[in-house]
Each structure stands twice: as structure tokens, then as C-alpha cells.
Structure 1
Amino acid sequence: MHDHPVRRRWAAALAFMVMVSGLAVAAAAPASAAPGDTGDDGEGGSKTLIQQLAAASKGYVEAKEALERSKKRQSELAAKLKELDGEIGPRQAALDEIVRRTYQTGRLGAVSALITGTGSGGLLDRAETLEKVAVKQDTAVKELIGTREEQARAKTAIDGEIKDQQKQVTVMAKRKNQAEDAIKAANARAAAAEAAARRRSNSSSSSSSGGGSSSGGGSSSGSAKAAAAPRNSDGSLPAEGCTVNDPTTSGCITPRMLHALQEAKKAGFNHYVACFRHQNSGEHPKGRACDFAADKNGFGGVATGSSKTYGNRLANFFISNSGRLGVLYVIWFRRIWLPSSGWKSYSGAHGDPSSNHENHVHLSVR
């Protein structure tokens, strides 16, 4: 039996409608792009912005640490000065007593005591005694002078530390303004393009997009104390290169980045992570950044529920351990945490979950 022409036309039309419907469904739920796959460098901002933020945060933290070291040295110098002040009085009194006795006896008194003694043996003993008195007097003078000189050096050093502290405070304020101005300018340029995405983010998040503490979190894992990364003898962080194998990719990361990654895993954060990545800017190609997925097995869509809570807790963990881990900045859910300013609104360049950091926590270390 042959198919009727009308029936064939209806069948073809129906098949076409099914095909179009299938395409529409597929287009409505695209696979989420991983960080860096949408055309940006995976940190949500322009190359200039990322460079400014890195320089500002690094400069701020280094100035803050220098300020803390200076205050410690000032405290040590003040304690030493107090000790020297306590030594001045007794040494001055001892010298005054020697001078008084010398004045009373005079040079002739000493010579007379030496000559009028009986016996040659006694003469030698008295000569030795007078020599000891002279040495004692000379020692007392030198000790007093030395103490006063050391006292003056301590006071000068304290003045120097105070000046250095004032300098570091100025640098910190400058770096803070640099970071905030850079973010403000970037957000202003992206405001129109991101208005719709911002409304979507605000409607799905109970936290504000401005400053403040990280939303949610606060569990024992989020506030766990990490082991401190190795530091130099003066308390500063050593310069590091991309010298160790990245366990998440075939690339490399710095020893400090590896330390932060390992500490996060020790604290129970074991979802998917990707660190090294070839890109034009940012910390990933330097081995100083990792992206920690909110979902367990990869970078999904906008994090909700337990995935959102996981991201909140992880961001809290890095922030509460920022000094111990050498954190440069943290980006999570359309916000960036800076050592100088706390949380600030941070808009992605492309409006997708990865650019907006709505599906992963970005960590950069110094």
C-alpha cells in the first residue's frame, strides 16, 4: 500500500517540528562553561583590573606586615631602653663615689700611702691595690659612657621605627584606595551589561552584593585554623615561582599555593579543583591561583543549596586564614574579598556562572 501524498507531507512537517523542538530544549540548557572558557581570563575582570587588584592587595598586605614588624621592634627597643635607664643610675652613682674618694685622697694621698708603707712586699701590694682602683675607675667611666651611647642609639632607633610605621600606614591607605577605585571603575563600566544578571543573583542569594562578612558559612570547617605557610626569619613571605607539580592539572603551582590547597583539603573541602591554566593575565598562569568548584564533580551552573553553602564555608576558611596562607584575594558569588577592604561587589565580564564566580571560589595567593 502506497503512502498518500498528504500523509507524507504531514509526517515530514511533524518530524521537522520535533527536530526544532529538540533543538530549542537543547539550547535552553547549555552546558556550563568552566572558568576561562568564556573568553575572559577566568578571574572575571580585565587584564588591567586584575593587575591593579594584585598589586594593590600585595602592596597593602606587605605594608601591613612591615608595620607589624616595626611595632614589634619598637616594643623590643622600648624594653631595652627601659633596661638601660635602670643601669644608668647605679653606674653613675658608682662613678660618683670613685670620684669623691679620689678627690678626698688626691694624688699626693695615694703617693704618700705608697711610700710610707713598711716593707718592700707591702710596697708592691699597695702599688697593685692603687692600680686596681685606677682600673676600676676607668672601667666605671667606660661603662657609663657605653650605656649612655647605647641609650641614645635605642632612642634614635625608636624614632626611626615610628617614622617607618607612619610610612606604612600611608602606603596601606594608598593601596586600599587603589583597589577600591579599580573595582568601582570596573563595576561602573559593566553596570549596564550586567543589570539583568545582578537582579538574578540578588533574587537567588540572601546576602547583599556589597561589603560585609561572607554570607552563610560559619561552620567548624569554614573557621578551621590552617597551618601557616613557611616564612623568612623576619616574618616576610619568600619569593616563589611555579616550581611544583599541580595535582589538579598537568601544569605547575607555587609551594605556597600547594600548601593552601592541601590545608583546604585537610579542613574537609574536597570538591573538584583546577589550578594552573594558560591565560593572558591573572594568577593562574603564575601558579598562584586555584578555582574550587561549588559542586562536587565540576563547574556547574549557579550554586544553590548545599553547593552554595559549601562555597560560603570555603570562602570563610580562606579569609579567616588569610594571614597564615598568604591570601592575595578571594572571589565568590559576584564579590571579591580584599585584605584592605573586605567584601566588595565584583561583576564578571560575561555574565555567566563562571565569570561571575557563582559556581566556584577563586583563591589567589601571594
Structure 2
Amino acid sequence: MTAPLRRWLTPVVAVITALAIFSGSAPAMAQPRPSGHEDGDSKLLNDVIETTNRNFTQAQNKLEKSKKRQLQLDLEVRRAQSELDRLAPQVGQIAAQSYRSGRIGAMAMLLDSDQPDSFVKRAQALDELNMVNARKLAEVQEVKDEAAEAKEQLDAEVTEQQKQHALMAKQKRDAEKSLALVGGTGLTGGLVVAESPVAKVAPGRDSNGNWRPQGCTENDPTTSGCITPRTLHMYKEVKRAGFDRFVGCYRPGGPWEHPKGRACDWSLQNRGFSPWHNNDTRMYGNNLTAFLVRNADRLGVYYVIWNRQIWFPATGWSSYSGPSNHTDHVHVSLL
């Protein structure tokens, strides 16, 4: 292998080795524990966003370096091709002459010359030049072939890194979208797991995807009142997701959804209501809110209120300053 090509292939091998590590799948996000108890398996959304941003930057940097090396290898191939083109006519001419006259031998020395010594010298020179250029041509061809192979490998690397670049960009957008969906760091303080369980689809949806009105026909498991079938389904799904602290749904009186059986208040405590006061209670409220918001379309959520913020499917999050600041419970109303 020639020295110029060796200089190019050495970093290529390093890059391909690094790519084997880099191109592996992104770290899997552990299934969350919605109860809010922190453990080593749950990844907070802020941690996931930081990781995906770092991976995105690394992918971008590696891609740019690969593109530069690809250009350098392309120039090496062009140089080799240029050298090959320059030598080809000369070697071709020598090859044709050799074909007509043959290699130097006893019979050749007797033909086409009155001066054998001169003939021998010319034949020797021709033969030597032919062999020298043939070796040079073979060397240039080897450089060209190896450089072309290296360039092909680097092209494949760049293609793979472009895929990784796109994947990381998507992960970055998804993570940022997820953070915005649960109200950002202002609402959650970053204490929210990266994923929520997927809820089963609630009953009462027509073929067009619209939620049909429902009456207060089901017994409320939290009070002596009634709730709608959709509210009961939401209640069961939230419980199934691991949120098992105190909750109250039906409440008589007032113009809103509680007396209609279409709302529940999910406390942060095992009994009664009191504002969040530590990471456990705040994270419980954050994760419960995230579950409701992320599954809003499956559960038929009308709006969610938590920690001085209100969320509507059509408008997202905005500040809330109603009769309660909702720092002691997560309120959810259904359609």
C-alpha cells in the first residue's frame, strides 16, 4: 500500500470503528414508575433531552468530519486517475512496440539493424522502459483501486451517519415536544419521567372520532355519587398506570364537570389534600399529569389543571388562577 493512501486509510479505519459504536441504537428509555418513587431505572425527561442533544451534536460533528475526509479521498482518487491518464499513452506506445519487436533475444539482434551493438542498446532501453512504466502503471492502478475502495467505504459511512443525524434530530424534536407537552420545566421542575404507559381507548367514540355525550350512569368508586362510563374508564386506567393515592370524582353543586360525573381530583397524598412539599409529591403530580395529557386523545380529556397551569388539547398549557391553585391535586375533566 502506498504512503499517501495509508495516510488516508488510517483515519478511515478509525472512523469506521467509531461508527460501529456510534451507529448503535439510542439508549432505551426505561418504563416509568408513575407512582413518583424515583429509582435507577426511570429516566427523567430532562435527562433524556440532555442525552439526545449531546448525541445530536456528536452525530453532527462526526458527519462534518466524514464529509471533509470524503472530499480528501475524492481528491486522492482524482490525483491517481490523473497520473494514470498521463502514463497510459506512453505505456501503451511501449507495449505496442514490444508487441511488434518482441523482447530482446537472439533473433531480434539479427534484424533491422546494421549495428548490432546499437540495436541491443535500443532494445534493452525499450525493454527496461517498458518494465519500469508497467510497474509504475500497476502502482498507480493499485492506488486508484484502493483509494476508490476507501472512498466507497467512506461514502457508506457518510450515508449511515446521515441516517443517524436524522434519527438524532427526530429524537431531539420528540424529547422537546414531550417536554412542551407536559408543561416544560416551569411546571414540572424537570421531575417527570420520559414516558407514560399507553391507556386503553375510552368508550363512547363514534366512527368519525368524536366523543358522544354520556350521562352520569355509573357508580362513583370514590364517593356515593355517579360518574359517566368514560370517567369510570379514565379512573380505572389511571389506577392501572400505578397512581393509587387518594382521589375524589363526583361532587354535588357548581356549574362545572364534577356534578356531571365528568371530573376527578387526584390528590398527591394517600388521604386528604395538601400541596406538594417535596420531590415525591411534586413528581407524583407531574407524572399523573403527563399520563393524562399524553393519553388525552385516548381518554377523551377535556382539560387538565395542575400546579397553577391549565391544559387544553387545542391550546396547550397556559397559566391558571382559579379558586384553587391546584398545587395539592391534579384535576381532570372529560368530554
Judge same fold: TM > 0.5, yes or no: no
TM-score normalised by structure 2 residue count: 0.43
TM-score normalised by structure 1 residue count: 0.39
Structure with more contact order per residue of length (Cα contacts < 8 Å, sep ≥ 6): 1
